[in-house]
Amino acid sequence: MQSGPREIVTPFRPIPLDVPEGMANNEFFNSTENLNDLEHNNGLLKNQEDLLLYRKALGHTNEFDTSIIYNTSKSILDPLGRPVRRTQVPENTKKVWNRMNQIIIDYMVEKYPDPEQALLLAGEASLDATWPLTSPGVPSIRMLHNHFMVFNKDVLRHAKLADSDNPNLTDGGQHSLFKSYMGDVYSDFFAALDFDILMQTSKDSSKIKLTGYPQGLPSWKVRGGIDALKDINFWKEYDQILKGFIDFYRAFFMQVSTRNAPVPKAAYFPEQVESILLFNNCFMGSAKKVRDRCVTDAKYANSIRWQPAFKQLIYRNDDGDLIVTISQNSIGNAITELLGVVVKRVPDAKAYEKAEPALIEQLLEVRSRLIEADLGEGIETPYWSA
pLDDT > 70: percent of the chain: 89
Per-residue pLDDT, 26: 64
Beta-carbon contacts of residue 232 (< 8 Å; ≥ 6 apart) = 95, 98
pLDDT given at position 38: 83
Looking at residue 138, its pLDDT comes to 60
Confidence of residue 78 (pLDDT cuts 50, 70, 90): confident
> Chain-wide mean pLDDT for the chain?
89
pLDDT in tens, 231-250: 999 999 999 999 999 999 99
Q: Which pLDDT value is given to residue 63?
A: 97
| Whole-angstrom distance, CA of residue 365 vs CA of residue 339 | 27
pLDDT surpassing 80 at residue 312: yes
78-92, 106-120, 317-331 — most confident range: 106-120
pLDDT value at 90 more than 80: yes
Q: Tell me the three state secondary structure of residue 137.
A: coil
The Cα-based distances of 277 to 98, 139, 242, 248, 309 in angstroms read 31, 31, 17, 8, 19
- Region 75-88: mean pLDDT is 85
Q: What is the pLDDT of residue 343?
A: 93
pLDDT at 199 over 50: yes
Asked if residue 77 has pLDDT above 50, the reply is yes
Read off the pLDDT of each residue in 195-215 and give the average, rounded to a whole number.
Answer: 90
The pLDDT assigned to 98 comes to 97
- 18-22, 185-189, 335-339: least confident range: 18-22
Helix (H) / strand (E) element for 315: namely strand 310-316
- Please determine, for residue 198, whether its predicted confidence score (pLDDT) is greater than 90: yes
- Beta pairing, strands 341-347 & 6-12: parallel
Q: Which amino acid is at 8?
A: I
Cα–Cα dist 312/125, whole Å: 6
Sheet holding 377-378, edge to edge: 198-200, 219-222, 322-328, 310-316, 118-125, 145-152, 64-70, 51-55, 43-46, 377-378
- The yes-or-no verdict on residue 174 having pLDDT over 80 is no
46: which strand partners? 52, 377
Nearest to 305 by CA among 292, 294, 314: 294
The answer to whether the beta carbons of residues 69 and 56 sit under 8 Å apart is no
Q: What is the pLDDT of residues 2-53, one digit of tens each?
A: 899 999 999 999 877 777 888 776 667 666 777 777 888 899 999 999 999 9
Q: What is the reported pLDDT for 333? A: 65
pLDDT band at 301 (very low <50, low <70, confident <90, very high): confident
What is the rounded average pLDDT of the residues 330-359?
A: 88
pLDDT of residue 223: 97
Render pLDDT for 106-159 as a digit per residue (tens, 0 to 9).
999 999 999 999 999 999 988 766 666 666 656 566 788 899 999 999 999 999
Q: Can you tell me the mean pLDDT for 66-88?
A: 87
